[in-house]
Amino acid sequence: MNIDLAGKRALVTGSTSGIGQATAASLARAGAAVVVNGRGRDRVDATVEALRAETGSDQVSGVAADVGTAEGANALIAEVPDVDILVNNAGIFSATPVFEIPDAEWQRFFEVNVLSGVRLARHYAPRMTARRWGRVIFVSSESAVFVPTEMVHYGMTKTAQISVARGMAQEVTGTGVTVNTVLPGPTLTPGVEEFVRDRVGADVPFEEAERRFMAEERPTSLLGRLIRPQEIANLITYVASELASSTTGAALRADGGVAPTIIP
């Protein structure tokens, strides 16, 4: 299969590291003009420079904006009024006992993980439908269907993303625009590496920490290891392409079999 995104413009939120950065690189290699997004200008600029060097593309740009707030989302939209591909990847997670999560944390997680994507899709998707082509992709998680006991507030937001994406897909029926969610499993991002070290112990070599974490806390994984960001980016890039024209309203798993279900 040949994925050619030449002539398309893509925005990837939360793309200064991890899955977002890998996705931005993958889309750029496929020919798309890519907009990198993160909260800090220095990190955005450094990521743009790194991606240009890595991909050989001069069509990588960046916007610093906190899409977890209405003000930040509006600032991003003002700088980038139109895109063909929207990857809602920005998100946060943490481990907290469910009965100790205060209201403010429930609200913060919902703002960052759900409303960021809602606000951007609400702006960009109608413009995509007017052009009769577009892709909206929410980066959810296997936690949407297999809620981790230590991160219920995170799981709640990931489940909400699936529902939002399905409803939006129904709204754009027959327009040439697709809306989907991709469900990564535990992936070796900087945040997850820190999370694993915190759960297993900072003094344990990471290779051993990874093995213990998967065996003890994610024993249902059929891979038995953390997924690498590029493995998720591969699926997102396919979903963003013309090749995935019949895939919409779907929750697509790239979770290494962690969720012990037949379908999401």
Tell whether 52 is covered by a domain.
yes
How far is 143 from 93, CA to CA, in rounded Å? 11
Q: Would residue 154 show up in a list of annotated catalytic residues for this protein?
A: yes
Tell whether 39 is covered by a domain.
yes
Taking a C-beta distance cutoff of 8 angstroms, is the pair 230, 23 a contact? no
Tell whether 115 is covered by a domain.
yes
Chain segment 229-244, per-residue pLDDT in tens: 999 999 999 999 999 9
- Structural domains counted in the chain: 1
Tell whether 211 is covered by a domain.
no
Range of the domain at 153: 9-187+227-254
Q: Which of 154, 165, 241, 244 is catalytic?
A: 154
Q: Is 177 left (phi over 0), alpha (psi -120 to 50) or beta?
A: beta
Per-residue confidence (pLDDT) for residue 264, from 0 to 100: 81
Tell whether 217 is covered by a domain.
no
Phi first, then psi: give them for residue 94, nearest 5 degrees: -165, 160
| Helix extents (H) in 144-186 | 152-171
> How many whole angstroms from its chain centre is CA 230?
12
Distances (CA, A) of 33 to 42, 82, 90, 127, 149: 21, 12, 19, 17, 39
Q: Which residues of the chain have pLDDT under 70?
A: none
Tell whether 202 is covered by a domain.
no
3-class DSSP state for residue 249? Answer: coil
Taking a C-beta distance cutoff of 8 angstroms, is the pair 16, 47 a contact? yes
Tell whether 150 is covered by a domain.
yes
CATH number at residue 126: 3.40.50.720
Per-residue confidence (pLDDT) for residue 1, from 0 to 100: 85
Taking a C-beta distance cutoff of 8 angstroms, is the pair 20, 87 a contact? yes
Tell whether 222 is covered by a domain.
no
